[in-house]
Amino acid sequence: MQIEVKIDKLCSEPKVIIVSDKMSDEVSAILKKLSEDTPRLMTIAGFQSDEVILLEPANIVRIYTANSKVFAQTTDNREYTIRRRLYELEELLDKSMFVRISNSEIVNLKHVSGFDLSLAGTICVRMANGLITYVSRRYVAGIRRVLGI
């Protein structure tokens, strides 16, 4: 793929032109990415006691609910309370990095070490930090699609 940027002082707003011999998966993916109007979260406010910590999404291993609260677990095995709903975070986080595996959990694919497909009807997720979690049956088809299997 070739990328070209032209700076024109007379241009009032950015304009994107895609030149291709045919519509391909690559062109479709570019179009989809460009048409997304949902802003991606740059940081997430995590709470510990009376302190607010700005969490980088790349450092979040998983986001889950427990006892009617939302928590984020980070790469340093710390847990922070998040004051957003899980579905709000799912919409705002980068879908190429974060995937919903159950009604109560979103995992960061960058921190998954493997998927065990040997269990009938479910998928076991092994995280890089040693944590093991499971994809609920409702989300198995979506995970298979994300993984291309």
Rounded Cα–Cα distance for residues 115 and 146 (Å): 12
Q: What percent of the chain has pLDDT over 90?
A: 43
Check residues 142 and 23 and name the one with the higher pLDDT.
23
Rounded Cα–Cα distance for residues 46 and 143 (Å): 27
Classify strands 105-108 and 98-102 as parallel, antiparallel or unpaired: antiparallel
Check residues 62 and 14 and name the one with the higher pLDDT.
62
Question: What confidence tens digit (pLDDT) does each residue in 67-119 have?
Answer: 999 999 999 989 999 999 999 999 888 888 899 999 999 999 999 998 887 77
Q: Would residue 67 be called left, alpha or beta, if left means φ above 0 and alpha means ψ between -120 and 50 degrees?
A: left
The DSSP letter of residue 95 is T
